[in-house]
Structure 1
Amino acid sequence: MTATIADRIYETLSQQIITGELSAGEKLRQDHIARAFEASHVPVREALLRLQAHGLAKSEPRRGMRVTALDPAEVREVTEMRVALETLALQHSVQNMTPVALKAADDARIACDQAETMPQWEARNRVFHRAVLTPCGLPRLLHTIDDLHIASARHLFAHWRPKWVQRVDTDHASIVQALKNRDASAATAILSRHIRRAS
């Protein structure tokens, strides 16, 4: 599927918000964004509405669209939701895992381990989680998990960026091995611990 201008604007702005390049409370001015992307206001409005739907921006009366503030209380809720929903998706993934899907998960794991910066790692980490969960075949569940990863990523950047170091993720390797063994119990236990540890 070809990315639209609105997609490109959304992806760029969401990444800038997640990484903290655009800070909480910062105004998202339609005219400035339209000029930066050489676009009309229509795709800009579409992108801003998507940011709002994902909790990254908020429309305020007489203040316009602004980047939402990080809420520390949200971390616990997002973590518990991720544990519940990702383990549910993984249980279904184990049943549907094909050799092609396993290779995609292992390739994503290796790419994640080779990340040289935190933004690169965070993007590849999301790809890994998506790779192990996609075979569940439950699109609504996956869509909700994607939204939770966006919320989780903002907190990761806010709290872990100064401490981030390149490393091999042994949890990812263990999850892939459990999937190869078709061991749903081990895979979900490792994933649950992994999400809680990261948070």
Structure 2
Amino acid sequence: MATKGPKYEIPPLKASPSSTIEHVYAELKDALMSGEFSPGQPMRLKELAVAFGTSHMPIRESLNRLSGIDILERAPRQSARVPMITAEGLRDLLEVRLLNERQAIVWGVKKSAGKSLNYLREIKEKMELLNMEKNADVKKYLKLNQLFHFAVYNLSENKVLMNTIEAHWLQAGRVLGLRRKETRVVPGHHNHREIIDQLEKGNGLAAADALERDIMEAHEQIFAILEKSDLTDRAGNRVPA
């Protein structure tokens, strides 16, 4: 008996009256970074066109852009597909992320001297209100986490670095799709508090160390999820952890 493949759903996407290429592209990027799409999920023109309330053209162009920068894989009859995950690739991505995101914080300290960081505390407090020890709204938590991190990195005021970090988060987003299935997520609020405290003190290296702990703790969860998952590669072989 043939086994059925995983059931994929199109996440909520914000349609607009025009649904221009730039709007569709921005919405798909945001959804991918937030883990709204799962590893191996097909990105079909027809389904996405319905979700956006638009024609195939802006969908096709957006998928081509994302495929061109290796965020999606080209797939016949499916337009594109979210790549699968390997532990080796995840470790490589982690190393590069740490280099760039630590640098963003170090530069951000110099740019943010004397500025109020209350908006960062507001994001952190919203995350803390989500009781992660019970049936939490994991999607909302991950979205707030993304908002917090990018607010911190934007302090660097370096567009080139921000584009690089965004590209890495787009690659890492499919991993978050695994975390969305968990009913419990161990939060790193202590690290977020430390990041803000050290930023306000002007201590870039200490803030970067707190950021690294935050990222590493999150990846420990991800590797644990990947280890017990039943993901397979395109050949049908189980992905090793």
Q: 2:214 aligns with which of 169, 194, 197?
A: 194
Residue of structure 1 aligned with 2:43, choices 28, 47, 53: 28
Q: 1:17–1:67: 8 Å Cα contact kept in structure 2?
A: no
Q: What percent identity do the matched residue pairs reach?
A: 23
Question: In 2, distance between residues paired with 1:133 and 1:48?
Answer: 27
The match for 2:95 is 80
1:134-184 CA distance string (max 9 Å, x none)? 111111111111222233332243257425247561100011000111111
Kept after mapping to 2: 8 A contact 1:87/1:192: yes
Partner of 2:117: helix, strand, or coil? helix
Shift of 1:117: 1.2
Q: What amino acid sits opposite 2:129 in the alignment?
A: Q
Aligned 8 A contact 1:20 1:158 in 2: no
1:148 aligns with 2:163: no
The alignment's TM-score, normalised by the length of structure 2, stands at 0.69
The letter of the residue matching 1:97 is S
1:54/1:177 CA distance change after superposition, 3 Å: farther
Of 113-122 and 180-189, the range deviating more from structure 2? 113-122
- State which of 157, 176, 182 in structure 1 corresponds to 2:202: 182
Q: Quote how far apart the aligned CAs of 1:30 are.
A: 1.7
SS at match of 1:87: helix
After superposition, the C-alpha distances for 1:41-72 in whole angstroms (9 at most, x for unaligned) are 22111221243245442114676422322232
Rounded to whole Å, the distance in 2 between the matches of 1:18 and 1:131 is 15
Higher helix share: 1
1:97 maps onto 2:112 in alignment: yes
Residue segments in structure 2 that go unaligned for 5+ positions in a row: 1-15, 131-135, 220-241
Structure 1 gaps, min length 5: none
Aligned partner (choices 64, 67, 73) of residue 58 of structure 1: 73
Contact kept, 8 Å, 1:18 with 1:153, in 2: the verdict is: yes
What is the alpha-carbon distance in structure 2 between the residues aligned to residue 43 and residue 106 of structure 1? 38
Who is 2:150 aligned against?
130
- Distance, in Å, in 2 between the alignment partners of 1:12 and 1:156 is 15
Amino acid at match of 2:121: D
Q: Which amino acid aligns with 1:142?
A: M
In 2 relative to 1, CA 135–160 (structure 1 residues): closer, same or farther, beyond 3 Å?
same
Amino acid at match of 2:81: R
Query: Is the 1:90–1:187 Cα contact (8 Å) retained in structure 2?
Result: yes
Contact 2:105 2:208 in 1 (8 A): yes
RMSD, aligned CA: 2.9
Q: Distance in 2 between matches of 1:53 and 1:114?
A: 39
